[in-house]
Homo-oligomer: A and B are copies of this chain.
């Protein structure tokens, strides 16, 4: 009985992770159910048995995977620290996190780009389920820092767009930029280390009062 239970979870999870891979590489439209099935080494019909439809599998992947990574990613935003330390910790945490989880990164970015609002909806539901209100918390934090004269950016939205964009964009820009400038690429590790340092400087000098 336990065996059976485990088998079920196994198949479902095999599908989810195969789908994560496929969707992150090809997107919703480009992904092929059969290819997912093959990768997961399950029968194609099983995808429909468990997830009913392609688009439902897609959402399931997003939310399943998201909720998995969510707590880990959320930690950094809830630390009770000042802006200086915040600007230090953010890139040091976020960049390696995405380096380790490229599939997740690609999937989320895709979703973020082309379906942003529905992603936010999901994020918010995640907060609700955890009885958290991170958005409010962050907004308050920024307002507070600004009121106390610790930062120069008064608008939480601009504050976050600035912060997030320089982190998130790094992964997209890396191959493009080095090819553009014809600068012989250093190792991935070195590059992202230098990115972390550069972001830290930019944010600190750029937004600390």
Taking Cβ atoms with an 8 Å cutoff, the residues of A that contact B are 26-30, 109-110, 112-114, 116-117, 119-121, 123-124, 135, 138-139, 152-153, 155-158, 160-162, 164-166, 168-170, 172-183, 194-195, 198-199, 201-207
Residue from the list B116, B173, B175, B183 in contact with A176, Cβ < 8 A: B116
Flag if B194 contacts A155 (CB, 8 Å): yes
Q: How many copies does the complex hold?
A: 4
Q: Which of B27, B110, B162, B168 contacts A202 (CB 8 A)?
A: B162
Top 3 nearest A-B pairs (CB, nearest first) are A206-B206, A165-B169, A29-B29
- The chain B residue with its CB closest to the CB of A205 is B206
Q: How far does the alpha carbon of A164 sit from the alpha carbon of B173 in the complex, in Å? A: 9
Roughly how many angstroms separate A119 CA and B204 CA in the complex, as a whole number? 33
A156 touches B173 (CB 8 A): no
A164 vs B202: C-alpha distance in the bound complex, in angstroms?
13
Picked from B27, B113, B162, B203, the residue with its CB within 8 Å of the CB of A172 is: B113
Task: Choose among B138, B162, B183 the residue that contacts A166 (Cβ–Cβ < 8 A).
Answer: B162
Set of chain B residues within 8 Å of A28, measured between Cβ atoms = 30
Alpha-carbon gap, A135 to B177, bound state (A): 10
Cα A164 to Cα B206 in complex, Å, equals: 15
Checking B27, B139, B165 against A165 with a beta-carbon cut-off of 8 angstroms, the contacting residue is B165
Residue of B nearest to A120 (CB): B179
> Looking at A109, A164, A166, A183, which has the most chain B CB atoms within 10 Å of its CB?
A166
30 A-B pairs with CB atoms under 8 Å apart are: A27-B29, A28-B30, A113-B172, A116-B175, A119-B176, A120-B180, A121-B179, A123-B180, A139-B183, A153-B198, A153-B201, A156-B183, A157-B177, A157-B178, A158-B195, A158-B198, A161-B166, A161-B174, A161-B195, A162-B166, A164-B169, A164-B173, A166-B166, A168-B169, A201-B206, A201-B207, A202-B206, A203-B206, A205-B205, A206-B206
